[in-house]
Amino acid sequence: MSITDTLSPPGRNSYLATAGPVPACDHAWDAVLARVPLLSERELDVFRLLARGASNRTVAATLLITERTAKAHVAQILSKLGVESRLQAGIAGFAWEMLATGAGRAVDLSA
């Protein structure tokens, strides 16, 4: 038995051999992205900032609102999109931005 076999999770090698190609798209994410148009204009502003990894404090400072208001917007976004965390919302926001700008092009996250 090699060190790789010892450190590999049980069944890992057999899974890789039978798994086939990795799916390019997860239908759950399609559903999340389909709900983005439900967001208000202000929620879209916050959503775009979440895509850049902004904290509530950064969202508040950028949009000239209180942190409490920023937190409320994030809660509404999570609810409307049906995601469990701001990380998931941020990933969805990043995907939304990639789709809006064209997946093949680079996205400027410094703005």
pLDDT tens, position by position, 33-70: 999 999 999 999 999 999 999 999 999 999 999 999 99
Instruction: Give the contacts of 89 (CB within 8 A, at least 6 positions apart).
Output: 47, 50, 74, 77, 78, 81, 83
Q: What is the reported pLDDT for 100?
A: 87
Mean of pLDDT values over 87-92: 96
